[in-house]
Amino acid sequence: MGQSVRQRIAAIALVAAVPAVLVGTPADSAVRSVPGTRCTMFPADNYWHADVSRLKVHPRSAAWKSHMSPTRRLHPDFGPSGGVPYGIPITVVPGSHAKVPVKFSYASESDRVHYPLGSDSRIEGGARSTGDRHVIMVDSATCRLYETFATRKSGGQWFAGSGATWDLRSNALRPRGWTSADAAGLPILPGLLRYDEVRAGYVDHAIRFTTNVTDRRYVWPARHQAGSVTNRNYPPMGARFRLKAGFPISRYRADTRVVLKAMKRHGLVLADNGSPWYFQGSQDTRWPSGLLNQLKSIPASAFEAVDTAPLMVSTGSGRARPPS
């Protein structure tokens, strides 16, 4: 039956209320640039960009999910908060930016180089935060990524819990057993959901997320564990989950569908301990509340763990084989 006039008016109003989303394709968006730079977000064949939609379900998928608050719903860990945006900010610096030494709590597993920290460094939650205080910095000249955790400055000296650097043009992983600014020893930047890519209509990477209890092991490409149990029925760092192919998304907003398609194609990567099913995005004042509210309605039960072993080319590389 046809729509009533009232239904048509309501539909038009709904469309008008949703920000326009452009159409993107894998061909023109296979490798995204870091905003404000010409640096790629790691190579196109990197693990973060891998299509996991055709991988087999992991044999321990049900067991892992049973220990991850399976009745919960997704929670976007970013967006407006009392008028103040929260999320993990990204700082882009020029090659001429001064680099300073940092004193690390976990120095033996940190990259002890000088970091481009300064008064322009954007600290997650602010300098006075009691949270994770991540700092993510990209040198636009060298395409080097710097990340620190529990970052603070005192008496003119910079301190952090841990720190790591990566060449964004390389698939090289950190040494086995080393942490990073994340418990899994992975970079944070490529796993952040960003407004600019959602607005462009295509997200070409997996998304970082957390859960509260993890096993004392890790799976490729993670390099480090921070588990509280020794039990393979709990998820390890590096575990990857995807939104089930049959989960219906046609009724959602256009921007919500962009994110859900990415969750089906690229999935979520377990990268740190935290609240179950919280996933992270960049700090941005433009995140629409309508998008965030719809993402909060997605049930954890709609996800399944996948076996990523067929993607691995080498244990020391983040390069992934194309899906067969």
pLDDT tens per residue, range 72-123? 999 999 998 766 679 999 999 999 999 999 999 999 999 999 999 999 999 9
Instruction: Specify whether the CB–CB gap between 58 and 307 falls below 8 A.
Output: yes
Q: And the tokens for 56?
A: 């087999």
CA-atom Rg of the chain in angstroms: 20
Which residue type, as a one-letter code, is found at position 111?
D
Alpha helices for 81-200 (secondary structure H): 195-200
What is the per-residue pLDDT for 23?
45
Distance CA 220, CA 241 (A): 14
Q: Based on DSSP, count helices (H) and strands (E) in the chain, helices before strands.
A: 6, 15
Alpha helices for the chain (secondary structure H): 5-17, 26-29, 61-66, 195-200, 254-265, 289-295
Contacts of 43 (CB under 8 A, 6+ apart): 31, 49, 169, 170, 171, 319
Q: What digits encode the pLDDT tens for the residues 235-278?
A: 999 999 999 999 999 999 999 999 999 999 999 999 999 999 99
Q: 296, 149, 136, 169: which is closest to 226 by C-alpha?
A: 149
Contacts of 308 (CB under 8 A, 6+ apart): 47, 50, 52, 55, 219, 220, 240
With a cut of 90, say whether residue 13 has pLDDT above it.
no
What is the per-residue pLDDT for 265?
98
DSSP label of 173: P
pTM: 0.91
Which phi and psi (to 5°) does residue 276 adopt? -60, 130
